[in-house]
């Protein structure tokens, strides 16, 4: 598999070869769904907490005598039947996290990359951003003909991408991601995915 390799001015520099076992597999919807659920579940705090009748303060005295009042018998005002009482079967702190086999996680990433094949844009690097300026980044995105939510996968610590992070951080619709942090949620949410040549190599090594 090959695709066009551009610079950030939108000019064609040549072609980039893509491993069909990473960028050209048949997308597995079920595994992608599991990976997305896992990512969302693992991000949940699970800190919701209610008090049972044993934990609510007060209620030590019997509110009224057992017989003769015509009312239902009651032993404590902290019963779940009263306002201010405990909660029956309420939430307690818990973990929502679950695991997936490593092979399944890799398949989910490969499926997501293959499913977004027509929205992938490959650039050599971001060395044309000579200064950390937002308007230079906006111009680069316009030259690459990408719009909406844009996910940029690049090593921001590399010398050729040194101005990328400062140039892109003020654009709300642009998200930067290191190749090592590639995930199904961001791939599926983006309208376009821009990848550098170096990040393609790193992702291919990791997933193939």
- Average pLDDT for 45-64: 93
Is residue 86 a part of any domain in this protein? yes
Separation in Å, CA 106 to CA 103, 183, 184, 202: 5, 10, 10, 14
In terms of Cβ atoms closer than 10 Å to its own Cβ (0-12, 13-18, 19+), residue 137 is buried
Task: Give the model confidence (pLDDT) of 125-164 as tens digits.
Answer: 888 888 889 999 999 999 988 889 999 999 888 888 888 8
Q: Are residues 128 and 176 in the same domain?
A: yes
pLDDT of residue 127: 85
- Average pLDDT for 151-179: 89
Distance from C-alpha of 67 to C-alpha of 59, rounded to nearest angstrom: 19
- Phi and psi at residue 189, to the nearest 5°: -80, -25
**In the chain, pLDDT over 70 holds for what percent of residues?**
100
**Are 174 and 168 in contact, with CB atoms under 8 Å apart?**
yes
- Phi and psi at residue 178, to the nearest 5°: -75, 150
pLDDT of residue 156: 83
* Contacting residues for 47 by C-beta, under 8 A, at least 6 apart: 93
- Phi and psi at residue 6, to the nearest 5°: -115, 165
Residue numbers of the domain that contains 78: 50-90
Whether the per-residue pLDDT at 172 is higher than 90: the answer is yes
Q: Whats the size of the chain, residue-wise?
A: 208
pLDDT of residue 9: 84
pLDDT of residue 108: 95
Distance from C-alpha of 151 to C-alpha of 204, rounded to nearest angstrom: 18
Go through 176-200 and write b for each residue having 16 or more CB atoms within 10 A of its CB, e for each that does not.
Answer: bbebeebbbebbeebebbbbbbbbb
Whether the per-residue pLDDT at 208 is higher than 90: the answer is no
The pTM score is 0.81
Distance from C-alpha of 8 to C-alpha of 6, rounded to nearest angstrom: 7
pLDDT of residue 5: 87
Which of 16-20, 39-43, 51-55 shows the lowest per-residue confidence on average (mean pLDDT)? 16-20
pLDDT of residue 104: 95
Q: Are residues 118 and 152 in the same domain?
A: yes
**Are 97 and 41 in contact, with CB atoms under 8 Å apart?**
yes
pLDDT of residue 161: 85
Distance from C-alpha of 201 to C-alpha of 154, rounded to nearest angstrom: 11
Task: Give the model confidence (pLDDT) of 60-94 as tens digits.
Answer: 899 999 999 999 999 999 999 999 999 999 999 99
Is residue 97 a part of any domain in this protein? no
Q: Are residues 36 and 84 in the same domain?
A: no
- CATH code, domain with 18: 3.40.1370.10
Is residue 173 a part of any domain in this protein? yes
Whether the per-residue pLDDT at 29 is higher than 90: the answer is yes
Q: Are residues 128 and 39 in the same domain?
A: yes
* Contacting residues for 67 by C-beta, under 8 A, at least 6 apart: 73
Q: Are residues 115 and 72 in the same domain?
A: no
The total of structural domains in the chain comes to 2
Q: Are residues 69 and 167 in the same domain?
A: no
Is residue 96 a part of any domain in this protein? no
- Average pLDDT for 41-61: 93
């Amino acid at each position: 598999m090959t695709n066009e390799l551009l610079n950030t001015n939108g000019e064609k520099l040549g072609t980039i070869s893509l491993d069909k076992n990473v960028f050209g597999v048949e997308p597995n919807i079920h595994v992608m769904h599991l990976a997305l659920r896992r990512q969302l579940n693992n991000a949940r705090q699970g800190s919701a907490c209610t008090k049972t009748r044993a934990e609510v303060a007060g209620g030590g005295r019997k509110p009224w005598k057992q017989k003769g009042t015509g009312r239902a018998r009651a032993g404590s005002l902290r019963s779940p039947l009263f306002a201010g009482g405990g909660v029956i079967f309420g939430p307690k702190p818990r973990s929502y996290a679950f695991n997936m086999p490593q092979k399944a996680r890799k398949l989910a990433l490969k499926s997501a990359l293959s499913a977004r094949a027509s929205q992938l844009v490959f650039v050599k690097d971001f060395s044309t951003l000579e200064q950390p300026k937002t308007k230079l980044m906006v111009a680069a995105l316009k030259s690459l003909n990408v719009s909406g939510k844009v996910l940029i996968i690049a090593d921001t610590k590399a010398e050729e991408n040194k101005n990328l992070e400062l140039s892109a951080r003020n654009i709300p619709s642009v998200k930067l991601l290191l190749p090592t942090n590639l995930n199904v949620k961001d791939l599926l949410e983006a309208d376009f995915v821009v990848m550098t040549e170096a990040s393609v190599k790193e992702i291919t090594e990791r997933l193939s």
